[in-house]
Amino acid sequence: MTGARYTKDHEYVRMDGDIGVIGVTDYAQSQLGDIVFVDLPPVGKNIAKGQELAVIESVKAASEVYAPVSGEVVEVNGAIETAAAIVNEDSMNKGWLVKLRLSDPSETAGLMDEAAYEAFVKGL
């Protein structure tokens, strides 16, 4: 996915204008196992970088998803609220979690690009 930026906690943000599309990476969903429930924040909520953004429950455990950037929730992926397995099937596209209107777009500069993230995952 060209243009996405990644965290060491396996979240990604892909920019679409001033909106950041946020989700978990394919690596993260593979480590979680079968995802059965996703708890998303309400639209309008302001989230700070590093703050809990969502909770993903799998057959293995519940895991927090942290915001890679700060902003206001402008949309949540309603499809995964009723069919959480979409995150397993296509985490980087159809399985996105939240869209944020970034309050500080420069925060993306501190995140890894795709090559750096791939190298990071290989080192795990």
Say what the pLDDT of residue 26 is.
Answer: 96
Say what the pLDDT of residue 3 is.
Answer: 84
Say what the pLDDT of residue 2 is.
Answer: 52
- Residues 36 and 18: their CA atoms lie apart, in Å, by 31
Instruction: Name the 3-class secondary structure at 28.
Output: helix
Tokens encoding 47: 């989230």
Nearest Cα neighbor of 69 from 3, 10, 7 is 7
Residue-range domains of the chain with CATH: 12-103 (2.40.50.100)
Say what the pLDDT of residue 18 is.
Answer: 87
* pTM for the whole structure: 0.94
Instruction: Name the 3-class secondary structure at 29.
Output: helix
Q: Could you read off the pLDDT tens digit of each residue along the chain, which spans 124 residues?
A: 458 999 999 999 999 988 999 999 999 999 999 999 999 999 999 999 999 999 999 999 999 999 999 999 999 999 999 999 999 999 999 999 999 999 999 999 999 999 999 999 999 9
45 CB neighbour count, 10 Å cutoff: 15
